[in-house]
A and B are shown apart, each in its own frame.
Chain A
């Protein structure tokens, strides 16, 4: 096969680089890598148009394993570097790979600003609720009481909810999925790819070594349907092994109800990913196990012009009205005089 890929022939294998993968056996990152290749191969975008930009962490090694353009940058700064790539080349498909420490701790500032600008970036946050690469300290998403080397008596800071934060920054696309929920993961990545603007995706990712099983309630076949609610646009919020439970609004708060006994599906909240206001998405993002099932799927998908689009539009407009700039005009842009 030639190095010049064409639109139609890309297979997941074409997206695999020649580098040996160094994640621990059993790490959730493997599955994400595999589904990413699957999702991208089907997009009809030529390989050379993909750019993967990451920070630092186990998750941030991701670009080395993709046979696309890749940039493993510095801790927390991937959204900033990706912003520059997108400003320069709006035609590229730019993906940011980050971790819960990388994206929410050291890089929190860049994350919220990339999101609020609505740069056309796909930001994928691998949330394992731990610092993997530095060998297991608690992270900004670790649940209170998490015992790690740096929190031997249990962590005491309130965890950030990544999706709530993204919604607070006015994200236009917000979704959550799970590393081993292969089908859901692939579909979610495809939805993110199709979104024009910042797509923020949180993936529950198991760290086999330092935080094994934190998401078991959401991945264990025997319990997961009682603990996870899969969002469908326009459908009532129903969950449970027998699809017999739902989420109803009580005042401004959600509550779990059993269907039957006078409670019908019509009484439940109906998901609307296109709602202008992010209130519903925000409410869903705050539902946390074990009080509530945790939602997966697309929380919000609305349209707003991207930063680079508006910038380029401004540029085209001034050129249209005042003409393209010439250096001789620029040099003489102040009062000039002639010495004879």
Chain B
């Protein structure tokens, strides 16, 4: 549905409006409280109002942790702005806490003097006890550093829907919309998009539809008429390039990008996977897309999933598998097979906190070295990493281009932060997306080889083009019958060979083929001074925080530049040359220093690390502080 730009409502209340350039809010409550849904509505509305947005959902690993406990707290953070932004925000201007547990686990992120809206009805002795509060924080003065608004959300919401004769349970289910309405008033948002959404979502259930709509309006009106809050805020439209937009999460972008690439390559997509957080949503998206020629297989495990993807690629379609770190462990041996047989497969790794089961719902960047080296033997594969939710579209597309262009497995290292985070996406024109050329070996090329005992010409599956890429010879093609496998093969013929010199030659050939990819990817670009004191080098999902920190440093007049690697193996051709133009290289990563290890080993540069391994993205301030520290250490 297309919604034209909405005008922000001009309220008639006497309460003053204060114009701010940006704001960060978080809606937090029990995982049964509907915070993800309310947050998504706020994001959608803000995007439609023309703000730039960036969001960060945060939910527990347990589906239904005991209600009211710290383990069950679910939150959704939205940063919205009248200027360009890249992160969900370091600190909250407004926090909505639907219960004591939500208050307890989120308060530390609220700025001093920030707005704190709590559901006062959820602070009975039992609720406080579940959250581990010895005394009621609403009464003991511990919140006096904030602008506290204790609102009887439960009661007011029940009153708002009382005419509809719902059960208490049903009525209470709307209270997230009451809270949302209040925050809409606080930030002068239009109710229209959410009312429309309620209409289409609950169209078949009139009482629920009406209840949610009433709750939303009641929350809004509460803000407008009670004058409980002395001020409210306006965040104007951002200067965004004209065009048609939608909001997109990293997982959505990945799924759509794979389908787009499959269409532009004219290869049907086979997505084989085993459910795992935070990658499952890619399966859910693709399973819905059968009419786009997408086949999905929920395999019995991750090994079968990549096996099926490899089989699908062998048979001439686009085989893709997706998982998270634990699944990559299981796939390792099969990835080696794809490297050895030189078949195109895309392997999506939505990284999460590790090792082992680790932090399933939290983000981390600790699978880089696993993708690089986590297989037996000399086993190079191509590795890409998107840098923002919408970049997941581009990198998925790139992965397909390089996989079929170089007959190789390609990793896409996304992460939990990108997967669930969202931003506006300028919708591309499908006709303008590049075509992905695919050349299957034509029937009858038996002539490229010698003849067998029957006098028949034999096809040579490992006869390479000048880029060292072997032909894609698909079963069913007459004259190309051939055998491939995991055993070392003789150059050109592909016959099993244990010859020592041939083995070394093939190892070098496979490595050189991957290195050749560097000739067909963009060079590394730098934002900021072309040479100078500090280059901040990032990769993957940390882009938003790094770019914002570097901009701030540059505004302060510091000679800081930023470069971001989206191609990790091979790295862009000019990487070494770029790095050498700066006196210091700072590498922030959500791991123990994995890119730094690669950079040091490859370019002999003594890069400095900034490493955070808390399951959370970088705050802009953390990177800014490190830049300052690195600079001051210099003089």
* Stretch from B113-121, B179-187, B475-483 contacting the other chain: B475-483
Cβ 8 A contact of A338, one of B4, B316, B481, B486: B4
Instruction: Tell me the count of chain A residues lying within 8 A, CB to CB, of chain B.
Output: 68
Q: Within the assembled complex, what's the spacing in Å between the Cα atoms of A154 and B309?
A: 41
Closest chain-B Cβ to A126's Cβ sits at a distance in Å of 17
Q: Report if A252 contacts B (CB, 8 A).
A: no
A-B contact pairs, 15 of them (CB 8 A): A5-B478, A47-B481, A66-B483, A80-B304, A80-B307, A84-B311, A84-B314, A87-B308, A92-B315, A315-B290, A325-B259, A327-B259, A335-B48, A337-B48, A339-B241
Q: Report if B3 contacts A (CB, 8 A).
A: yes
Question: Would A83 and B308 count as touching, CB distance under 8 A?
Answer: yes
Q: Report if A153 contacts B (CB, 8 A).
A: no
Q: Report if B547 contacts A (CB, 8 A).
A: no
* Stretch from B57-65, B155-163, B454-462 contacting the other chain: B454-462
* Stretch from A192-200, A298-306, A316-324 contacting the other chain: A316-324
Question: Would A318 and B315 count as touching, CB distance under 8 A?
Answer: no
Q: Within the assembled complex, what's the spacing in Å between the Cα atoms of A318 and B459?
A: 40
Interface centre among B256, B336, B483 (most CB of A within 10 A): B483
Cβ 8 A contact of A89, one of B304, B443, B475: B475
Q: Within the assembled complex, what's the spacing in Å between the Cα atoms of A115 and B536?
A: 53
Measured between beta carbons, the chain A residues less than 8 angstroms from B495 are 19
Measured between beta carbons, the chain B residues less than 8 angstroms from A86 are 311
Measured between beta carbons, the chain A residues less than 8 angstroms from B486 are 56, 72-74
List B residues at the A interface (Cβ < 8 Å). 1-5, 44, 47-48, 50, 193, 197, 240-248, 252, 256, 259-260, 263, 268, 270, 272, 289-293, 295, 297, 299-301, 303-305, 307-317, 319, 333-334, 336-337, 341, 427-430, 433, 443-444, 446, 452-459, 475-487, 495-496
Measured between beta carbons, the chain A residues less than 8 angstroms from B4 are 337-338
Question: Would A64 and B483 count as touching, CB distance under 8 A?
Answer: yes
Of all chain B residues, the one with the shortest Cβ separation from A334 is: B246
Q: Report if A212 contacts B (CB, 8 A).
A: no
Cβ 8 A contact of B309, one of A13, A84, A89, A311: A84
Question: Would B291 and A88 count as touching, CB distance under 8 A?
Answer: no
A-B contact count (CB 8 A): 250
Cβ 8 A contact of B2, one of A63, A64, A84, A338: A338
Closest chain-B Cβ to A123's Cβ sits at a distance in Å of 14
Q: Within the assembled complex, what's the spacing in Å between the Cα atoms of A36 and B268?
A: 32
Question: Would B301 and A109 count as touching, CB distance under 8 A?
Answer: yes
Question: Would A325 and B289 count as touching, CB distance under 8 A?
Answer: yes
Cβ 8 A contact of B457, one of A3, A80, A322: A3
Interface residues of B, dominant DSSP: mixed
* With A71-B485, A330-B260, A336-B244 already in contact, 16 other A-B pairs whose C-beta atoms are closer than 8 Å: A4-B443, A19-B495, A47-B481, A71-B314, A73-B337, A73-B486, A77-B303, A84-B315, A85-B475, A87-B317, A91-B476, A324-B293, A325-B259, A328-B429, A335-B48, A335-B197
Measured between beta carbons, the chain A residues less than 8 angstroms from B456 are 1-3
Closest chain-B Cβ to A41's Cβ sits at a distance in Å of 14
Question: Would A81 and B314 count as touching, CB distance under 8 A?
Answer: yes
Question: Would B337 and A336 count as touching, CB distance under 8 A?
Answer: no
Closest chain-B Cβ to A340's Cβ sits at a distance in Å of 6
Measured between beta carbons, the chain A residues less than 8 angstroms from B483 are 17, 19, 63-64, 66, 69-72
Question: Would A17 and B452 count as touching, CB distance under 8 A?
Answer: yes
Closest chain-A Cβ to B249's Cβ sits at a distance in Å of 10
Q: Within the assembled complex, what's the spacing in Å between the Cα atoms of A51 and B315?
A: 10
Q: Within the assembled complex, what's the spacing in Å between the Cα atoms of A19 and B311?
A: 23
Of all chain A residues, the one with the shortest Cβ separation from B343 is: A71
Q: Report if A314 contacts B (CB, 8 A).
A: yes
Closest chain-A Cβ to B161's Cβ sits at a distance in Å of 26
Question: Would A337 and B430 count as touching, CB distance under 8 A?
Answer: no
Q: Within the assembled complex, what's the spacing in Å between the Cα atoms of A13 and B495?
A: 20
Closest chain-A Cβ to B487's Cβ sits at a distance in Å of 7
Interface centre among B313, B427, B477, B481 (most CB of A within 10 A): B481
Question: Would B307 and A325 count as touching, CB distance under 8 A?
Answer: no
Task: Report if A81-B311 is in contact (Cβ < 8 Å); known contacts: A17-B452, A315-B290.
Answer: yes
Closest chain-A Cβ to B308's Cβ sits at a distance in Å of 4
Interface centre among A82, A311, A338 (most CB of B within 10 A): A338
Closest chain-A Cβ to B398's Cβ sits at a distance in Å of 17
Q: Report if A289 contacts B (CB, 8 A).
A: no
Of all chain A residues, the one with the shortest Cβ separation from B336 is: A74
